Structure 1
Amino acid sequence: MKNLLFQFIFLLFLSSLASAQERPLRIGVAGLHHGHVGWVLNANKRVDLEIVGIAEPNRELAERYAKQYGFSMDLVYDSIEEMVEKTQPEAVTGFGNTFQHLEIVQICAPRGIHVMVEKPLAVSLEHAKEMVDLAKRNGIHLITNYETSWYASNEKANELLQAGKIGEVRKIVVRDGHKGPKRIGVGEEFLEWLTDPELNGAGALMDFGCYGANLSTWLMNGERPLSVTAITQQLNPKDNPKVDDEATIILTYPKSQTIIEASWNWPIGRKDMEIYGFDGEILADGGSKLRLRISEGYSGFQDEKMELPPRAAPFDDPFSVLIAVVRGEIELSPFDPYSLENNLIVMEILEAAKESSASGKTVFLK
């Protein structure tokens, strides 16, 4: 009889677990001021995700998006705290300014609500450290979304590097950016905070420098650089009067170097990466194109070109990653681009880059 009762209870447990896995993840949206907010509003059409609340005090902006994406204004609250109290989401996604990321975690972490923010993790290293502490003390997942984390080209590049296909890494070059927020026509609300040194932390240095820092930390298996040297300029003061729009960041490691070129002055938008090893090189162009070159003699090489399909689920989009992490279906590998460990190092690099640019000196990390 006891065995039958145990089996019944166990089957009930499995049934409830399966039911929980099938339910859509209840998420809240903190802010609508980010230019990428369409990603999460479109994701609301999915069967595995449901937006239960939106925190946005700008009613005009919220009404505009409500009309565009077809959600009810009943979902909109004036503050993050009110939204989470009344809707009880399982996770909150940050789509406001970067300065707001700390507030999101301050409100969500003590309530056991998981958080995903758009890159970078925080506006400063000080904010980042507090966010990490809150996340760890309260046992929540805190992940950072980068577009380049979805790229099959970057996944394949890392796979080839770790397999030793080009030998020991010597240099990584990452280039990211576009013509500048104003020139590409971002929305007024997005432009206002993106070009504000307090709300964004800097200009192109933060907006696009974070990509290279994130990828380098991943490719280097979480190794912190020895030093950071940065040069920033304001080449288009008319459009970017308060922040830098050109940044070059050099990271030195014991046996290699990473060069990050972050710009709001590229004539053509780009997200590409080059990895140079002892025996060859890997060139990743955008999300799907990759070239593997193996050295032969002085200037000769074997050249293999690849056109890659999208990454396998759940790594093909950020919301699938969020769902899988919260549901316990996957555990992010150490220093994965989404991971908290990686992004704390990213913030350390960016903070040192700002210090180096301001002082004109190389900053050695402690």
Structure 2
Amino acid sequence: MKMKLAQLFIILISIFSMNANAQENKAPLKVGVIGLTHTHVHWIFGSEPRGEIEIVGIVEPNTELAKQYAEQYKFSLQKVYPTMQEMFDAVKPEAVTAFGTIYEHLEVVEAAAPLGIHVMVEKPLAVSRKHALRMQELAEKHKIHLLTNYETTWYPTTHKAYELAKEENTIGGIRKIMVHDGHKGPKRIGVNEEFLEWLTDPVQNGGGAEIDFGCYGVNILTWFMDGKRPNSVTAITQQLQPDNNPKVNDESIILLQYDSTVAVIQGSWNWPIGRKDMEIYGTEGVVYADNRNTLRVRISKGYDGFDEQVMKLEERTTPYDDPFALFAAVVKNEVVLEEYDLNALGNNMIVVEILDAVKKSAEQNKTIFLK
């Protein structure tokens, strides 16, 4: 009888523990927002009402900028702190998102990682491989998740293209991938002053259009290639809008050469019409990811004929439809990222390595071979 009571007690304790863990996982992730100068920050304010995260504090020393966001999103200025340490001490966030300059990403990780606070940064991960290596070291030492957010990660077409080309072999062996990203340029599309100031600064942003938009294609290629580095990187960069972008290049063409695949990545602030699209060419056909929701597949017939299928894709399911929902799921161990997933640290370390080679290739006017 005593044994049965003891077993029953253990079972009840296990049930209570499971219920407590379930309730903890249902609670929104407590997130701090570091910086408001990156206008992608609108994304997290728009995401919060979904319920996966709760913004518990904001770090922004520019009080006028903080007031603008407070008025727009109806939060109290008491949530805003001048420094990370003051915010950490006051509200104890479980995770933070970085919406300042790319150069400041390292500073965020240096402050958050030793406290066990997980970090998500906007693309790219870092301004240089030196910064990235330090960030990786801190993340691994303190066992935190360090994710990078790209808009194209949330496009249903990005994932359908991967599924068709990589997993289902719909178009045969992949031979060429072309990725096009960009718009008319930060000043011409009217980004706010706080964002424009650092986005067109070679130190704070790490470069110009080759960084801001070249990183998208490099991220996707690294995913498609299962983390394999290209054998070589060749890049052309140019400044076509000196009045608007006096310190940085606004045009870039990046060539990546793999064993059996080549890639052409065009990251530009000179597109007359904004775009984020890609083409994947196989031995038997082509996948066109035209935009977020429209995808076409053409299967070759004869010399220049083809059968075409057009797909209109629905948004992906939770948490794969939103960066902050996924961030919360990863922190709560509900989702485990593969090493070279689009958001994963392994992928984005390679992205920064390739972007460093892009800058070196353009500066030296030669192909860079990766070791």
Quote the residue 2:283 is aligned against: 278
Measured in 2, the distance between the counterparts of 1:128 and 1:109 equals: 14
Measured in 2, the distance between the counterparts of 1:176 and 1:263 equals: 7
- Give matches, 1:16-31, under 5 Å: 16-31=20-35
| Secondary structure, aligned partner of 2:103 | helix
- Aligned with residue 45 of structure 2, among 41, 45, 49: 41
Q: What is the percent sequence identity of the aligned residues? A: 55
Q: Which runs of 5+ in 2 are unaligned?
A: none
Q: Give 1:120 shift.
A: 0.5
Measured in 1, the distance between the counterparts of 2:42 and 2:92 equals: 22
Quote the residue 1:247 is aligned against: 252
Measured in 2, the distance between the counterparts of 1:316 and 1:75 equals: 27
TM-score, L = length of structure 1: 0.98
2:57 is the alignment partner of 1:62: no
Question: Are the aligned partners of 2:339 and 2:345 in contact in 1 as well (CA < 8 Å)?
Answer: no
TM-score, L = length of structure 2: 0.97
4+ residue segments displaced more than 6 Å: none
| Secondary structure, aligned partner of 1:92 | strand
| Secondary structure, aligned partner of 2:222 | helix
Quote the residue 1:110 is aligned against: 114
- Aligned with residue 80 of structure 2, among 70, 76, 85: 76
| Secondary structure, aligned partner of 1:312 | coil
Measured in 1, the distance between the counterparts of 2:50 and 2:58 equals: 17
Measured in 2, the distance between the counterparts of 1:269 and 1:228 equals: 25
- Aligned with residue 326 of structure 1, among 318, 328, 331: 331
Aligned residue pairs total 366
Quote the residue 2:269 is aligned against: 264
Measured in 1, the distance between the counterparts of 2:321 and 2:44 equals: 14
Read off the aligned partner of 1:188 and give its amino acid letter.
Answer: E
Measured in 2, the distance between the counterparts of 1:312 and 1:338 equals: 17
| Secondary structure, aligned partner of 1:98 | coil
Quote the residue 1:136 is aligned against: 140
Read off the aligned partner of 1:252 and give its amino acid letter.
Answer: Q
Q: Give 1:46 shift.
A: 3.2
Measured in 1, the distance between the counterparts of 2:67 and 2:171 equals: 53
Alignment deviations for residues 135-172 of structure 1 (CA, whole Å, 9 cap, x no partner): 11111111111000001111000001121111111110
Measured in 2, the distance between the counterparts of 1:297 and 1:41 equals: 51
Q: Give 1:334 shift.
A: 3.0
- Aligned with residue 124 of structure 1, among 125, 128, 133: 128
Measured in 2, the distance between the counterparts of 1:84 and 1:352 equals: 36
- Give matches, 1:330-341, under 5 Å: 330-341=335-346
Measured in 1, the distance between the counterparts of 2:318 and 2:239 equals: 40
Quote the residue 1:205 is aligned against: 210
Select between 342-351 and 5-14 the one with higher mean Cα deviation. Answer: 5-14
2:164 is the alignment partner of 1:160: yes
Quote the residue 1:304 is aligned against: 309
| Secondary structure, aligned partner of 2:13 | helix
2:141 is the alignment partner of 1:172: no
Measured in 1, the distance between the counterparts of 2:126 and 2:91 equals: 25
Read off the aligned partner of 2:253 and give its amino acid letter.
Answer: T
Q: Which runs of 5+ in 1 are unaligned?
A: none
